[in-house]
A and B are shown apart, each in its own frame.
Chain A
Amino acid sequence: MRNLLGSFELVVLLAVIQLGEDAYGVPVAREVVRASRRNWSVASVYAALDRLEKKGLVASELGESTPERGGRAKKYFRVTANGLRIARETKRTFAAFWQIVPETH
């Protein structure tokens, strides 16, 4: 159980997995906002990505820069093998509990 992620970190990790090679801050933040239907800030998404990177669940590398970004490089994230394992483990744990949650009251 100690490897389980918080719900926000899990959503961010799943967004990185879903986006694949295009996973840098802007699309990850958009995906997180779309999936969670909450108006998360880009900064809070970065904070979660930073925590995931420190835990070794994602890795990052700097990419190209564009004029729209003020000449700043993009930081691309990709899920690590450990990150995939934790995501699957979290899914299994949640699925086991999910069956006992009633659909309606």
Chain B
Amino acid sequence: MRYPPAFGAWLLARTADEALAGDITEEYSAGHSCSWYWREVLLAALMGVMASVRQHRWRTLEATLVAWAFMTAWGLVAANEWREWHQNDQITMITRWVGYFVSGFIVGRYFRFPMIASVLLPLALGVLLRHLDLDLSWMPRPMQPPASRSVDVALCMVLGAVVGTWRTGQPRIVRHGDAIEDTRLRTPAFASHDSSH
């Protein structure tokens, strides 16, 4: 039997509908290419995240506020308390990375993996605002969205969220001999749909 890539299976288990994840895995086992698999996984994950955001609007808002409140506090501390350190650009950069990583970790740890969307959406909005060259100088500096070239901070935030959700008792992919098993029976993203059956 052909096993799907471990990270793809992990991502599907946490974001997509159980049946959809099974169908994608079945088609991959039947011989579809790796590029087909990753296209399907990313689409399924995106749909699962969006479904989860629609289903948990208030939790999404809460996660967004918590993440950005932390970033603001971190930014204020970094700007005021550690001012002398910030003569060094590399330390400033590392401080930003740590801030975004911990912010993502908080969201991943306390708001489930799909809530990463609540962090990614403001980031995307920030990139859009920067792209349109709007004047954001009226916003406190720590709260200003990152520039479009700041892919590094977005990655730090996503990485933090992934690490934050790693050990939260959520379902995992387990291999039993020739078979792989997703220990979860329902995904949070589609739980309300499945509960009627």
B84 within 8 A of A: no
Q: Top 9 closest A-B pairs, CB basis?
A: A72-B22, A75-B19, A25-B23, A69-B22, A67-B179, A71-B181, A43-B43, A68-B29, A43-B44
Count, chain B residues at interface, CB 8 A: 32
Cβ contacts under 8 Å, B197 to chain A: 60-62
Count, chain A residues at interface, CB 8 A: 26
Chain A interfacial positions (CB closer than 8 Å to B): 24-26, 29, 41-44, 46-47, 50, 53, 60-62, 65-75
B173 within 8 A of A: yes
- Given the known inter-chain contacts A24-B19, A67-B1, A69-B26, please indicate yes or no for A42 contacting B40, CB distance below 8 A: yes
B131 within 8 A of A: no
| Chain B contact residues: helix, strand, loop or mixed | helix
CA distance A60 to B194 in the complex (A): 9
Cβ contacts under 8 Å, B193 to chain A: 50, 53
Identify the closest chain B residue to A66 (Cβ). B26
- Which B164-182 residues have C-beta < 8 A from chain A? 173, 178-182
In the bound complex, do residue B23 and residue A70 qualify as a contact, i.e. CB atoms below 8 Å apart?
Answer: no
- Given the known inter-chain contacts A41-B39, A42-B40, please indicate yes or no for A70 contacting B19, CB distance below 8 A: no
CA distance A59 to B15 in the complex (A): 23
